[in-house]
Amino acid sequence: MRNCLLFLALLLAACAPQSTNQPAFDSPVPYSTGTPSATPAQLDGLVPAETPLPSPTPFLYKVTGNDTMSQIAEKYNISLDALQAANPDVDPNAMPIGIELKIPSNPANLTGASTPTPVPASVKQIECYPTADQAMWCFVLVHNDFSDFMENVSAQVTLVDSNGQELVSQAALSMLNILPPNTSLPLITFFVPNIPADVKPQVQILTAIRLLPNDVRYLPATIQNTLVQIDSSGRSAQVNGQVYLPPESKTASQVWVAAVAYDRAGRVVGVKRWESNAALEAGNNLPFVFMLSSVAGAIDRVEFAVEARP
């Protein structure tokens, strides 16, 4: 598996083996000015779970003073991609001493830490769209069928040519650390040029951890009073609403809102994550407003999910 750094963007951006591309999740990425989309891949690219890929069973490793993420990946014989996919909220260039990393492999549990139980994630849709400059966005729509939250959901996306030959492979990540119960969110990855327009994606879930009820790292925030205003072209929308914390909750110091745009056929065509570090006290609302763009086709509806942390 190729080692390349992955970064979150308006859509999640990643790198090809030979280069690094690092947009941030805080600025709009316009839709392609060329042909907006290829024939969507649907579920014929879903790889069976028994196909060998990095095991999704993680254990915990505590970072010491001289550790780097690449050294830790080498130590446990896993790819840097897989290690970052399991720890999307950890900056590999600024890891605090003592922070615990999830190791997405199955070596001996040297730390003695409890091992979270991996669970199957339901893949509802696989969509890939070429851009005018021969790059490609891929969305893997995953649904949480459980009544509990899921954490660190990720997948491996491999692009193959018409002969079935692998061209490039990298991880796809979610906009949020969690996937709420009975909710769908896309895993996102961006392949830099040059990607042939007729490639087909193959997808396999890498990590998916079912959380215990009342996990103290996440607060019971909800989305209320949303309004979506789609412009006349259908290519962008202004969205607004409120994040609400119930009175029994702790104060939130970090709030993320994920917005997912769908076209009339129900395909994911755009995503955006809104972030706030303003304190949200229990029993109060936090308003949000931002723009959401499509990478392919007109927006028909927008769905939301929220994550709040103490």
Judged by average pLDDT, the poorest of 79-88, 102-111, 156-165, 174-183 is: 102-111
What is residue 103's predicted lDDT score, i.e. its pLDDT?
Answer: 75
DSSP designation for 47: P
Residue 87 pLDDT class (50, 70, 90 cuts)? confident
Q: Cα(152)–Cα(173) distance, rounded to whole angstroms?
A: 8
Domains of the chain are 1-214 (no CATH), 222-309 (2.60.40.3230)
Q: Cα(16)–Cα(6) distance, rounded to whole angstroms?
A: 10
Q: Cα(262)–Cα(249) distance, rounded to whole angstroms?
A: 32
Q: Are 154 and 86 in contact (CB under 8 A)?
A: yes
123 sits in the region (left: phi over 0; alpha: psi -120 to 50; else beta) called beta
Residue 31 pLDDT class (50, 70, 90 cuts)? very low
Q: Cα(64)–Cα(67) distance, rounded to whole angstroms?
A: 6
**Average pLDDT score over residue span 220-237:** 95
What is the CA angle 140-143-146, rounded to 5? Answer: 150
Q: Cα(262)–Cα(268) distance, rounded to whole angstroms?
A: 5
What is residue 98's predicted lDDT score, i.e. its pLDDT?
Answer: 83
pTM of the model: 0.69
279 has pLDDT over 50: yes
168 has pLDDT over 80: yes
pLDDT tens profile 284-310: 999 999 999 999 889 999 999 999 999
Q: Cα(138)–Cα(201) distance, rounded to whole angstroms?
A: 8
Specify the 3-state DSSP secondary structure of 295. Answer: coil
Q: Cα(10)–Cα(297) distance, rounded to whole angstroms?
A: 17
pLDDT tens profile 104-158: 644 433 333 434 444 667 899 999 999 889 999 999 999 998 888 998 898 889 9
Q: Cα(236)–Cα(28) distance, rounded to whole angstroms?
A: 10
28 has pLDDT over 90: no
**Average pLDDT score over residue span 209-215:** 82
Q: Cα(207)–Cα(152) distance, rounded to whole angstroms?
A: 6
Which two tokens mark 129? 């769209």
With 0-12 / 13-18 / 19 or more C-beta atoms within 10 angstroms meaning exposed / middle / buried, residue 213 is exposed
With 0-12 / 13-18 / 19 or more C-beta atoms within 10 angstroms meaning exposed / middle / buried, residue 257 is buried
What is residue 43's predicted lDDT score, i.e. its pLDDT?
Answer: 63
HSE-up of 221 (CA within 13 Å, CB side)?
34
